[in-house]
Amino acid sequence: MNPFRRSPFVITAAVLVYIFLYAPIVGLILYSFNASRANVTFEGFIPAFSDKVVMDGSLVLSSPCGPFHWYCDLAKNNDVAEAAGNTLTIAFIATIISTVIGTMSALALQRYNFKMKPFSQLALYIPIVIPEIVMGIGVLTLFSQFFGWANETFNLTGDARLSLGIATVTMSHIAFMVPFVTLVVQARLQGFDKSYEEAAMDLGANEWMTFRRVTFPMILPGIMSGALLAFTLSLDDFVITFFTNGPGSTTLPIYVYGLLRRIITPQVNALSTVWILVVFFAVLLLQILQNRDSKQHS
Amino acid sequence: MLQRLRENKSAQGMLLALPTTVWLFVLLIIPLILTLVVSFGRRSPDGNVIYSFTLDNYVRLFGYSTDCPDGQASCFDPLYMNILGRSLSLAFNTTLFVITLAYPLAYFIARAHPKQRNMYLFMVLIPLWTNFVIRVYAWMMLLRKEGAINIILGWMMNLLHIPFTPLEMLYTPGAVLVGMVYEFLPFMILPIYTSLEKIDTSLYEAAADLGANSVKTFLRVTLPLSMPGVVAGTILVFIPVMGTFIVSDILGGRQVILVGNLIQRQFLDARDPTFGSAASLILMVMTLIVTYFYTRKFGFGEEIVVA
Amino acid sequence: MTNEFAVEMRDVVKKFITPEGSEMAAVDHVTMRIKNGEFFSMLGSSGCGKTTSLRMIAGFEWPTEGEVYIEGKAMGHTPPFQRKVNTVFQSYALFQHLTVYQNLAFGLEMEGAKEEEIKNRVGHALEMVQLTGMDRRKPKQLSGGQQQRVALARALVKTPDVLLLDEPLGALDLKLRKEMQLELKALQQQLGITFIYVTHDQEEALTMSDRIAVMSKGKVQQMGTPVEVYERPANKFVADFIGESNFLEGKVKSISKEEASVFVPGLNTEVIGMPISEGIVKGEDVVVCIRPEKIRIAEKNAVNQNMFHARVTNTVYIGADTHIYVDLHGTKLKVLEQNRISRLDPKSFYSVGQEVWLMLMPENTLVLKKD
């Protein structure tokens, strides 16, 4: 009996679900080449290359970039560039901070008992079980009330005025990401044999040296997983960012959302396609690295 | 001093956990407490909070209204209860559909050749890693009157010589359901896959050896052993659906209002943070109640997969 | 080496809190003095306190009461990296992410040694354990036996005064284990440093040690050379734990410093033996302990004290020895006879039911307290 045999029912269902998963994405990519600027129906690919953009009503007849017209359009869009920059900045800073403190708390929870422990565990547990929007408006309320009071009391005006922006978004992201980092690193720590650390100390390494030369390299894969997860969460986040951003701190997801409520040209599709491709290659790269890493260790 | 610290293990642990705990206390615990406090407040004319203690917001949520027909002093306005109910039923329906679609695919991947499994999983992960907002937008394009689905349907109907008017799929509750199912499908596929994959294949052989056909084997062996995955997936789907507002915003337009939309609007359009806080708290409580009873009955399904 | 004793434990107590919340003493008032240059073993089954004692010497645990001394200095709460002892771990604890060379170099780097010196010492250590040429490999690429040697070399490369070994041979198969036992003993004698060895395998302890501490329930039951511990067990526990013993209960009829006469109801006669436990008095209930190999099956009519008439119930051939099970008035005894003659002829065995005479020398008949 072939252990890998599956009934035709299962195979058909699987194929259908895969189609369900990819059809919208395929449509999205296709429409990024749409000749029609109104982007309501697909009017075909932009046929010709020319020096200048030639339009007929809402149809693009020819363009310097040909079928990739909307991608060129996208490249010229400064708002997108700014949003992308913000998104990456926030993600990097939030990832670094949340990975460091998340690893520390994972070590604390896994290996020590202290009076504050139940409280820390509860605090780490909450963001995972409550809807993001509850956290989002909570932080918004905190910031708006605090900023309101601080601006009044200290008479802050102009640039000194406290308001929502990159800082608030980053801080909120960290709060949201730390539980996940802690979870991942803790899972990795569970299998960790303490005798490695004892051996290091036995050989003359103090606590810091032991951590640096033995513990840290050994849990590094777990930390990297946590960091990667955190980075993704920040990059993709919509809800919390939605409630904590201000002018000048728009991220890509917020920007796209804004576009969707106004004019939708194929540029949005181009942006989406680029995003999808970047993610695709990043995941592919990750898988290759993981495969290579596990091969080295076997 | 270092030696004192060395001897006090408890202090070491506390120091390590301190940054995270402080951070979460300030940015999670305090906001939640603040939300509670604000929910008992009143709205100031400029959209700010007047701190007091009144149950007005909650009373209003549960249906007490003073804006009544026929000059009555007070009456029952089910508006907000309806929103709550609609959200619950949407979450429930979404979960059901998601399980129906996810299970066969998870099963397919779990029983595939080990070398192929990674590829199939990869194919599930790609849409997941694509941004939420983009995926919703993609459905918006498909469901429009001029969208691909109508085009294909029209073409099929034409072949069968049946007259066809394009369906109004966008801005309906159905569209929101489809959107939600699409968004959260991968979150169910992965946990179910994980728990299916853990099943020792020799169990299938044992079942066959004892005389069970494929259906019986599935019902009596596979399904029960995959329950932890289903439970984990349900928690990963149900809770977010309750709180999502983008899907209903973009795919439902102004027609479909869920709790998430209600809260969002209170904070942005209506500028009544007190009412929004009350709604948010009710949402949180409901979520916690559902999670509590669900995990009591079904266990906690530790297969919470980290992609 | 200024001190006579490399390591001392003075009335050490180590208490732990069990998961249920009660206090438990893993080490219960243990005093041990380990001499410089000796091969010292702590022997006992799991939970007897031997590993905890070793860990307190290494510095991974601190005593609840009492004190650990290394080279005459009280250790107090000194951390492991400040103690001049090194450990070979039961699980080897080799750093998986480092090569063999880097594993050995680790301890030297912590000392601040220069690269030239490290290279020399590592090379020398690898030679000592016959692993020259393996320096580039990673632990995962080595066999169990090789990993064990790396763990040993890693500890020895630091030339410690005392080497602690925590059941290092447990994971090896029998043949390899026996080879390594001889190698370790030879190494210790060659290097002249103190080895403190923890094991549950009595044969291992008897083979390798200069002295053994037999432990049970957190206490030292007896401390002495292998011969002392085997031939003169201090109490019933040691007599039972080490080797095999026949135990007979009886009451002391008369006692002097060299001799005790015990009436054994099970044999319905008096037995002359050697009092081992201290403070045995006339009329006391005691236990008589006789090892199987010390019982001689004699010709009829040989005159001796401690001569008994018995019936053979079973014989088991083990190759080098034969175990003979006998019955005297309902009391069962086991006798061990070396197969000095070939057993090819079945008639060379005692037959079941055969009547034989058993002879016991008084100095091999140990009288112990019945605790």
> What does the alpha-carbon distance between residue B185 and residue B162 come to, in Å, rounded to a whole number?
34
* Distance linking the first and last C-alpha atoms of chain B: 43
Q: The dihedral of CA A76, A77, A78, A80: what is its sign?
A: negative
Q: C357 pairs with which residues across the strands?
A: C298, C309
Distance CA C321, CA B5 (A): 60
pLDDT at site B42 = 84
Pick the residue from chain B with its C-alpha nearest to A43.
Answer: B146
Q: Tell me if A87 is assigned to some domain.
A: yes
> Which residues neighbour C321 within 8 Å (Cβ) at sequence distance 6 or greater?
C336, C337, C338, C339
* For residue C274, pLDDT beyond 50: yes
Phi, psi of A235 (to 5 degrees): -60, -40
Q: Which residues of C touch B7 (CB under 8 A)?
A: 77
CATH number of the domain at A159, please: 1.10.3720.10
Residue A288's pLDDT is what? 78
Residues A52 and A131 both lie in one domain = no
Cβ-contact A138, B280 below 8 angstroms: yes
Same domain, residue pair A47 and A60: yes
Collect all residues with Cβ–Cβ distance below 8 Å to C177 and sequence separation of at least 6: C169, C204
Residue A129: inside a domain, yes or no?
A: yes
pLDDT (0 to 100) of residue C83: 92
Beta carbons of C95 and A204 less than 8 Å apart: no
Which strands, in side-by-side order, build the sheet including A48-49?
Answer: A48-49, A59-63, A54-56
- A49 and A85 assigned to the same domain: no
Read off the pLDDT of residues B51-63 as tens digits, 9 standing for 90 and up: 888 888 888 888 7
Enter the ipTM.
0.83
What is the pLDDT averaged over residues B58-86?
77
Q: Which residues of A touch B19 (CB under 8 A)?
A: 101, 104-105
pTM of the model: 0.79
Instruction: Measure the CA angle with vertex B137, ends B136 and B143; round to 5°.
Output: 90
Q: How many CB contacts within 8 angstroms connect chain B with chain C?
A: 4
Task: Based on the fold, state whether residues A177 and A53 are members of the same structural domain.
Answer: no
Out of B187-191, B293-297, C68-72, C280-284, pick the least confident.
B293-297
- The CA distance from A72 to A63, in Å, is 10
The whole domain housing A44 covers 8-73
CB contact under 8 A, A137 and B267: yes
For residue B75, the distance in angstroms to the closest alpha carbon of chain C comes to 58
Domains of chain C from N-terminus onward:
5-236 (3.40.50.300), 244-369 (2.40.50.100)
Amino acid (one-letter) located at C122: V
- Per the model's pLDDT, the better-predicted residue between B200 and B192 turns out to be B192
A131 part of a folded domain:
yes
Contact B54, B42 (CB under 8 A): yes
Q: CA B182, CA B175: separation in Å to the nearest integer? A: 11
Nearest residue in chain A measured CA to CA from B23: A175
In Å, what is the CA distance from A18 to each residue of A11, A31, A45, B223, C52?
Answer: 11, 20, 27, 22, 58
Q: Over chain B, what is the mean pLDDT?
A: 83
The average confidence (pLDDT) of chain C is 90
| pLDDT for A107 | 92
**B27: nearest Cα among A116, A151, A98:** A98
> How distant, in Å, are the alpha carbons of A161, B291, C38, C100 from that of C123?
67, 61, 26, 11
Q: Cβ–Cβ of C80/A202 closer than 8 Å?
A: yes
A86 shares a domain with A34: no
Kindly compute the dihedral angle of the four CA atoms of residues A128, A129, A132, A137, in this order, to the nearest 10 degrees.
Answer: -110
What pLDDT, on a 0 to 100 scale, did the predictor assign at position C302?
65
Residue B99 pLDDT: 93
**Contact call for B208 and A14, based on CB within 8 A:** no
Q: Which residues contact B32 (CB under 8 A, 6 or more apart)?
A: A126, A134, A138, B284
Same domain flag for A229 and A101: yes
A41 in the same domain as A189: no
Contact state of B27 with A142 under an 8 Å Cβ cutoff:
yes
Minimum mean pLDDT among B176-180, B298-302, C310-314: which range? B298-302
Gyration radius of chain B over CA positions: 25
Phi, psi at residue C324, to the nearest 5°? -115, 125
Q: Which residues contact C363 (CB under 8 A, 6 or more apart)?
A: C274
A16: in domain? yes
Q: Does A206 lie at the interface with C, CB-CB under 8 angstroms?
A: yes
Nearest residue to A25 (alpha-carbon basis) of B109, B177, B130: B130
Quick one: closest CA in A to B185, which residue?
A: A21
Residue A268: predicted pLDDT: 85
Residue labelled with tokens 């290996």: A111
Q: Which pLDDT score is estimated for B306?
A: 42
Q: Do A65 and A208 share a domain, yes or no? A: no
SS3 C69: strand
Based on the fold, state whether residues A141 and A231 are members of the same structural domain.
yes
**Digitized pLDDT (tens) for each residue of chain A, 298 residues in all:** 455 667 788 888 889 999 999 988 888 888 888 777 777 777 777 777 777 777 777 777 777 777 888 888 888 888 888 998 999 999 999 999 999 999 999 999 988 888 888 999 999 988 888 889 999 999 999 998 898 888 888 887 777 778 888 999 999 999 999 999 998 898 888 878 889 999 999 999 998 899 999 999 988 888 888 888 888 889 889 999 999 988 888 898 999 888 887 777 888 888 888 888 888 888 788 777 777 665 554 3
Selected residues 308-347 of chain C with any CB under 8 Å from a CB in chain B: none
What's the pLDDT score for residue C217?
Answer: 93
- Calculate helix-pair angle for A132-153, B273-298, nearest 10 degrees: 150
pLDDT at position A298 is 39
Whole-angstrom Cα distance, residue B36 to residue B281? 7
pLDDT at A5: 67
Asked if residue C211 has pLDDT above 90, the reply is: yes
Can you give the pLDDT at residue B86?
87
CA pair distance A266, A35, nearest whole angstrom:
8
CA pair distance B172, B180, nearest whole angstrom: 13
Considering only alpha carbons, which residue of chain A is nearest residue C158?
A: A203
Confidence band (pLDDT; 50, 70, 90) for B221?
confident
Q: Lowest mean pLDDT: which of A133-137, A261-265, B20-24, C121-125?
A: A261-265
Domains and their CATH numbers in chain B: 80-298 (1.10.3720.10)
User: Which chains are within 8 Å of A by 3+ CB pairs?
Assistant: B, C
Is the Cβ of A212 closer than 8 Å to some Cβ of chain C?
no
Whether C189 has a pLDDT exceeding 80, the answer reads yes
Of the listed ranges B10-19, B158-167, C13-22, C54-63, the least confidently predicted one is: B158-167
Q: Are A112 and A242 in a shared domain?
A: yes
- pLDDT at position B294, please? 79
Number of domains in chain A: 2
Residue C77 contacts B where some CB pair is shorter than 8 Å: yes
Q: Which of A5, A12, A17 to mutate to test the interface with B (most CBs of B within 10 A)?
A: A17
Give tens-digit pLDDT for C89-107: 999 999 989 999 999 999 9
- Model confidence band, residue C123 (pLDDT cutoffs 50, 70, 90): very high
Q: Are residues A181 and A42 both part of a single domain?
A: no
What does DSSP assign to residue A209? Answer: H
Give the pLDDT of residue A1.
46
Q: Identify which has the larger pLDDT, B205 or C28.
A: C28
Interface of C with B in 2-41 (CB under 8 A): none
Residue A295: predicted pLDDT = 58
Check residue C11 and give its pLDDT: 94
Give the nearest chain B residue to C61 (CA atoms).
B7
Count of other CB atoms within 10 angstroms of residue B179: 25
Q: Can you tell me the distance from the alpha carbon of A253 to that of A242, in angstroms, rounded to the nearest whole number? A: 9
Model pLDDT for residues A213-269, shown as the tens digit of each residue: 999 998 888 888 888 888 888 988 999 999 998 888 889 899 988 888 777 788 888
Q: Which of A36, A56, A73 is the last residue of a domain?
A: A73
Both A41 and A101 in one domain: the answer is no
**Contact yes or no for A198 and C87 at CB 8 A:** yes
